[in-house]
Amino acid sequence: MTFKKGFLWGGATAANQFEGGWNEDGKGASVPDHIRGGTVDSPRLWDREIDPEVYYPSHEAVDFYHHYKEDIALYGEMGFKCFRLSVNWSRIYPTGMEETPNEKGLAFYHNVFAECRKYNIEPLVTISHYELPWGLSEKYNGWAGREVIGHFMRYAETLFNEYRDEVRYWLTFNEINNGVQSSGRILSLGMTGIDHKPMFGIQETPEEVNDRFTALHHQFVASALAVKKGHEINPDFQIGMMTIGHPVYAYTCNPDDVKAMNDEMNLRMYFCADVQVRGHYPYFAKRYFEDNGITVRTEPGDEEILKEGKVDFLSFSYYMSSASSADPDVTKAQGNMFAGVKNPYLKASEWGWQIDPKGLRILLNTFYARYEVPLMVVENGLGAVDERSEDGRFHDSYRIDYMRSHIEAMAEAVKDGVDLMGYTMWGCTDLVSASTGEMKKRYGLIYVDKHNDGSGDLHRERKDSFYWYKKVIASNGEEL
């Protein structure tokens, strides 16, 4: 067998894209509850005041809040070993600032974990997946305010104590490296306090860049404190970091392109992982900050905290790769969080994301060589338009091909010697897209009747990929 015994096969979701029930049972608003839907050509916009006339995709999402038993039963039917979900912070602490948690919010996740247990599914919980409570965003300009660390710690400690015996695997922040670019301001760092309307493509002032890197630093400190506290509460906890896995190739062998690739890899792939896995900022950070005139607000003792809060494993999302060039005029490719130069050797998805299974093998090797900690692929999949066939079913062979090629690449990486813990494909049940807010872009093995305008009766249906993935899991990845 290539994949180890107990390999964590499963699927991944995020509360704001999946749960709905945005204001039920005491839940407060989170940042994504203020963001409208969009498309690739018209970016999502955020509103300071929620407009009752406007459709906000997170408000109902695909209503896992009321369908969790049915959804988890379907995961059980596929034989999932692991279900990655995030807890919605504002369901537990509605504004982020309460002294005591919302009992009904806590009860919901107890129910979810009990359902997982029924089918022997191990939950993998992301503590913060693009879901900062709106109250913290408004009061502190999101993570730019150091006070948010304390609020996060109260929330994380509540989860660790409450679910001490129900959850073993945790991730602190989803795609933390999104914060190294301006696109990460709103979703990752909750920095809506400046008057910018679109979610992406923000032009920042030098002060705003300082704030952003300070916000990222606060997340590093918060993550490290949480790792330490989690291990005190239950020494069996496995607490990982989560980063966007997006390898970059030099567009040509011109040394200028190779240098551009190096710089991009350093900032995007290694900057955050170095802090969270090695426990300190990378050697190149000082010069990067100097060259870009960046000042990060730190406090005495922070270095010690980072050193003491190293993660147990490194997890990442993997959808695509891109190229890098010193020439600003080369053609660019679309991407979700990171974009880059178009690679002429690769085909792309309907959303322009360049499909590159070999890149996954390369990245697994690159990460493992540098960090030598267990790795886990916690998101991967194909966002596509699914059309119902004449026989009334969804024959998503393109999704099967995508997943098969990526699992094959993982198998090669394992044979190369990489220690791989598991694979949770993204959006096992169709859910809202993070970058565009669309429903039309589907990743699921399970179809949900819900559409871009919010219509649909939310019923679930198995796609062909559902039956295929079931076989993959039953054979521990041998039958592809």
CB nearer ligand BG6, residue 210 or residue 436: 436
- 166 counts as catalytic: no
DSSP H helix total and E strand total for the chain: 16, 14
The kind and range of the H/E element at 340 are strand 340-341
User: CA–CA distance from 467 to each of 16, 461, 464, 479 (Å)?
Assistant: 27, 12, 6, 12
CB nearer ligand BG6, residue 61 or residue 275: 61
CB nearer ligand BG6, residue 242 or residue 407: 242
CB nearer ligand BG6, residue 162 or residue 438: 438
Beta-carbon contacts of 257 under 8 Å, excluding residues fewer than 6 positions away, are: 250, 251, 324, 325, 326, 327
Catalytic residue among 379, 412, 478, 479: 379
Output b/e per residue, 346-369; b: 16+ Cβ within 10 A: bebbebebbbbbbbbbbbbbbbbe
Backbone angles phi, psi at 461, to 5 degrees: -140, 145
- Smallest gap from Cβ 13 to ligand BG6, in A, equals 9
DSSP 402-421: HHHHHHHHHHHHHHHT--EE
- Smallest gap from Cβ 453 to ligand BG6, in A, equals 18
Binding site for ligand BG6 (CB under 6 A): 14, 17, 174-175, 317, 336-337, 379, 383, 426, 433-436, 441
Angle at 183 between CA 95 and CA 63, to 5 degrees: 50
- Smallest gap from Cβ 35 to ligand BG6, in A, equals 12
How would you write 253-285 as a 3-class SS string?
CCHHHHHHHHHHHHHHHHHHHHHHHHCCCCCCH
- Smallest gap from Cβ 352 to ligand BG6, in A, equals 11
CA 77 to chain centre: 25
CB nearer ligand BG6, residue 175 or residue 356: 175
- Smallest gap from Cβ 429 to ligand BG6, in A, equals 12
- 379 counts as catalytic: yes
Catalytic positions are: 175, 379
